[in-house]
């Protein structure tokens, strides 16, 4: 069976264009499609209930303990950080699949998910696992996740700052932008100067915030927070992000059952009051690691 996150055709490492072959094929398809008939019944205004309107703008993780405090909506910017990058990547992949699901299934009803892979984190097998648990068409799910990969911090910043607006315009019905392992190349490249890195990170996050606000999208960023350099960069991101989840391994040394509630999760939500002053709400929960991989029964 021919399965892939996207039929991405990588460019030369020094080339400016990072958009995958999938994007170009989709654009050609749209250009050859006939214009919509304004007299068609499909062109009539859509009528829906207030509940449906509410459901459209809300994306959850389908993890009860997290969803009790956090939901993600269009125009939101959020980040998932963890000392162990597999935890952040699992939640990110979970969101990718749920974003494609219908509102009646508790999803986001997004036709596509735009995935900017900054650290080679896109996990086909984990994606297949979630799609199978939800009873979804696996091939259709994978074909709906459009992946763009970068190989240097300059390609990454060019993708986010300069190319994403065009991609979003092309996939206007895509409601979710995922940026996986944003800080990976900044940390692993020994030639990167901290001041230059900080400048690029600020520019990328500012660009993402503008895209979410003006194009009514949700953007979720992940990164690993396991060293001093990453934590320095992380502060720049957290200052500009609306909502965040931080996952850490809980110290169970004093517990008899060391597998019980073995992850500590901190949820932070930044809101503005009526005087436009920023306030932060913080919640802490305990979660068994296996709950990141399991879905509730539909």
Quick: pLDDT tens for 104-151. 888 899 999 999 999 887 888 999 999 999 999 999 999 999 999 988
Count: domains in the chain: 1
* pLDDT value, residue 241: 92
* pLDDT value, residue 297: 63
Q: Cα separation of 215 and 172, whole Å?
A: 8
* pLDDT value, residue 158: 96
Specify if 173 maps to a domain.
yes
Specify if 298 maps to a domain.
no
Specify if 56 maps to a domain.
no
Quick: pLDDT tens for 226-258. 878 888 899 999 989 999 999 998 765 555 555
pTM summary value: 0.78
Q: Is residue 124 a contact partner of residue 2, using CB atoms and an 8 Å limit?
A: no
Mean pLDDT, contiguous 10-residue spans, the chain (298 residues): 44 44 45 47 50 62 94 93 92 95 88 91 90 95 92 94 92 92 90 91 95 91 86 89 92 56 91 76 94 83
Beta-bridged to residue 265, according to DSSP, are 247, 285
Q: Cα separation of 33 and 12, whole Å?
A: 31
Specify if 105 maps to a domain.
yes
Residue ranges making up the domain that contains 88: 73-186+193-249
Specify if 200 maps to a domain.
yes
* pLDDT value, residue 214: 87
* pLDDT value, residue 68: 94
* pLDDT value, residue 189: 84
* CATH number for the domain that contains residue 217: 3.40.50.300
Specify if 134 maps to a domain.
yes
Q: Is residue 185 a contact partner of residue 228, using CB atoms and an 8 Å limit?
A: no
Q: Please give, one letter per residue, the 3-state secondary structure of the chain.
A: CCCCCCCCCCCCCCCCCCCCHHHHHHHHHHHHCCCCCCCCHHHCCCCCCHHHHHHHCCECCCCHHHHCCCCECCCCEEEEEECCHHHHHHHHHHHHHHHHCCHHHCCCCCCCEEEEECCCCCCHHHHHHHHHHCCCCHHHHHHCEEEEECCCHHHHHHHHHHHHHHHHHHCCCCCEEEEECCCHHHHHCCCCCHHHHHHHHHHHHHHHHHHHHHHCCEEEEEEECCCHHHHHHHHHHHCCCCEEEEEEECCCCCCCCCCCCCEEEEEEEEEECCCCCEEEEEEEEEECHHHHCCCCCC
């Amino acid at each position: 069976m021919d399965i892939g996150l996207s039929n991405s055709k990588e460019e030369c490492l020094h080339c400016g264009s990072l958009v995958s072959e999938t994007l170009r094929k989709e654009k050609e398809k749209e250009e050859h499609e006939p214009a919509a008939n304004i007299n068609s019944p499909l062109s009539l205004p859509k009528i829906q209930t207030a509940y449906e309107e509410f459901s459209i703008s809300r994306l959850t993780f389908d993890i009860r303990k997290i969803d009790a405090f956090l939901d993600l909506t269009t125009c939101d910017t959020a980040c998932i950080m963890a000392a162990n990058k597999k935890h952040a990547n699992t939640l990110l992949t979970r969101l990718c699949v749920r974003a494609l699901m219908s509102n009646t299934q508790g999803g986001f009803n997004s036709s596509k998910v735009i995935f900017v892979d900054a650290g080679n984190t896109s996990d086909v097998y984990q994606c297949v696992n979630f799609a199978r648990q939800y009873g979804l068409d696996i091939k259709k799910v994978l074909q709906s996740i459009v992946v763009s990969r970068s190989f240097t911090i300059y390609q990454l910043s060019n993708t986010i700052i300069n190319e994403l607006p065009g991609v979003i315009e092309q996939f206007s019905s895509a409601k979710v932008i995922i940026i996986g392992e944003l800080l990976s190349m900044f940390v692993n490249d020994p030639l990167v100067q901290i001041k230059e890195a900080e400048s690029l990170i600020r520019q990328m996050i500012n660009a993402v915030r503008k895209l979410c606000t003006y194009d009514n999208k949700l953007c979720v960023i992940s990164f690993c927070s396991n060293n001093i350099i990453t934590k320095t960069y992380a502060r720049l991101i957290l200052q500009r992000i609306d909502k965040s989840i931080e996952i850490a391994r809980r110290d169970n040394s004093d517990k008899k059952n060391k597998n019980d509630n073995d992850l500590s999760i901190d949820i932070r939500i930044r809101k503005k009051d009526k005087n436009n002053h920023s306030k932060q709400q913080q919640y802490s929960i305990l979660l068994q690691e296996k709950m990141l991989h399991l879905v509730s029964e539909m």
